[in-house]
Amino acid sequence: MSDFASRSEAALRALTRAHWQVHYKRRAGQAAVNLEATEETVPARRLRRPDPTDDKINEAFKRATSC
């Protein structure tokens, strides 16, 4: 292999490595932005509601069967 070819190959490897480093940094940054945007735009009704207590279940049952 000629000296020029080996230098070209080394330069290409360095460029490829730099490309992927930038790619991963951008992807990580975009993931953080996406997460923040998702947390701000999730409607309240889609958030998980707490499990009802026994008292609330009993009250609802009494209201439903009191007719």
- pTM greater than the 0.85 cutoff: no
Angle at 54 between CA 51 and CA 56, to 5 degrees: 80
Q: Does residue 47 sit in helix, strand or coil?
A: coil
Task: Return d(Cα 63, Cα 57) in angstroms, integer.
Answer: 10
Tens digits of pLDDT across the chain (67 residues)? 578 788 888 888 999 999 988 888 888 888 877 777 766 655 555 566 777 788 888 888 888 888 6
Task: Return d(Cα 63, Cα 31) in angstroms, integer.
Answer: 47
